[in-house]
Amino acid sequence: MVRAVAMYIGIDIGATNTRIALADQEGRIVKKIRFPSPHEGDEYTVARLLVEKIRENFRDWLEKVRAVGIGTIGPVDLRKGMVVNSPNLGIRTFYLVGPLKEDLGKPVYMLNDCVAAVWGEKMFGAARDTDNAVYITFSTGIGGGVIVDGALLLGKDGNAHEIGHIVVDYKYRIRCGCGGYGHWEGYASGANIPRFAQYIAEHEELSGEEKRSPLYRLALEGRLTSEIIYREAKRCDPFAERVVNEVIKINVAGVASVINVYDPEVVSIGGSVALNNPELVIEPIIREVPKNIVNRAPRILRTPLGEDAVIYGAIALAMNPPSTLLRFLQKDA
Ligand SMILES: [Zn+2]
Residue 53 sits in a domain whose CATH number is 3.30.420.40
Going residue by residue through the chain, which has 333 residues, state the pLDDT in tens, using 9 for 90 and above: 555 589 999 999 998 899 999 999 999 999 999 999 998 999 999 999 999 999 999 999 999 999 999 999 988 999 999 999 887 778 999 999 999 999 999 999 999 999 999 999 999 999 999 999 999 999 989 999 999 999 999 988 888 878 999 999 988 889 998 889 999 999 999 999 999 999 999 999 999 999 999 999 999 999 999 999 999 999 999 999 999 999 999 999 999 999 999 999 999 999 999 999 999 999 999 999 999 999 999 999 999 999 999 999 999 999 999 999 999 998 865
Both 156 and 85 in a single domain? no
CA distance 193 to 20: 30
- 78 Cα–ligand 1 center, Å: 21
Q: What is the pLDDT of residue 286?
A: 98
- Alpha helices by DSSP H, listed for the chain, are 45-57, 97-104, 113-124, 184-188, 193-203, 208-212, 214-220, 226-234, 238-262, 272-276, 278-288, 309-319, 323-331
* 127 within a domain of the structure (yes/no): no
DSSP 167: B
- 41 Cα–ligand 1 center, Å: 27
Q: What is the pLDDT of residue 333?
A: 59
Both 280 and 320 in a single domain? no
- 75 Cα–ligand 1 center, Å: 12
* 125 within a domain of the structure (yes/no): no
- 190 Cα–ligand 1 center, Å: 14
CA distance 305 to 145: 15
- 183 Cα–ligand 1 center, Å: 5
Q: What is the pLDDT of residue 332?
A: 61
* 112 within a domain of the structure (yes/no): yes
- 141 Cα–ligand 1 center, Å: 10
Both 218 and 313 in a single domain? no
CA distance 76 to 94: 10
How many whole angstroms from its chain centre is CA 278?
A: 16
* 25 within a domain of the structure (yes/no): yes
Q: Which residues are 238's β-sheet partners?
A: none
- 185 Cα–ligand 1 center, Å: 6
- 192 Cα–ligand 1 center, Å: 11
Both 115 and 29 in a single domain? yes
Both 174 and 53 in a single domain? no
Query: Domains in the chain: how many in total?
Result: 2
Both 168 and 33 in a single domain? no
- 25 Cα–ligand 1 center, Å: 39
Both 210 and 230 in a single domain? yes
Q: What is the pLDDT of residue 22?
A: 98
* 126 within a domain of the structure (yes/no): no
CA distance 36 to 270: 21
The pocket of ion ligand 1, defined by CB under 5 A, consists of: 165, 176, 178, 180, 183
- Which residues form the domain of 108? 7-119+308-331
* 29 within a domain of the structure (yes/no): yes
CA distance 36 to 98: 22
Classified as helix, coil or strand, 263 is: coil
Q: Which residues are 135's β-sheet partners?
A: 145, 268
- 319 Cα–ligand 1 center, Å: 33
Both 323 and 253 in a single domain? no
Tell the burial category of 2 from Cβ atoms under 10 Å away from its Cβ (0-12, 13-18, 19+).
exposed
DSSP state string for 177-223 = TTS-BSBHHHHHSTTTHHHHHHHHHHHS---HHHHHSHHHHHHHTT-
- 209 Cα–ligand 1 center, Å: 33
- 111 Cα–ligand 1 center, Å: 20
Closest among 79, 81, 14, 18 to 53, alpha carbons compared: 18
- 216 Cα–ligand 1 center, Å: 26
Residue 116: how many CB atoms within 10 A of its CB? 32
Both 156 and 49 in a single domain? no
- 327 Cα–ligand 1 center, Å: 29
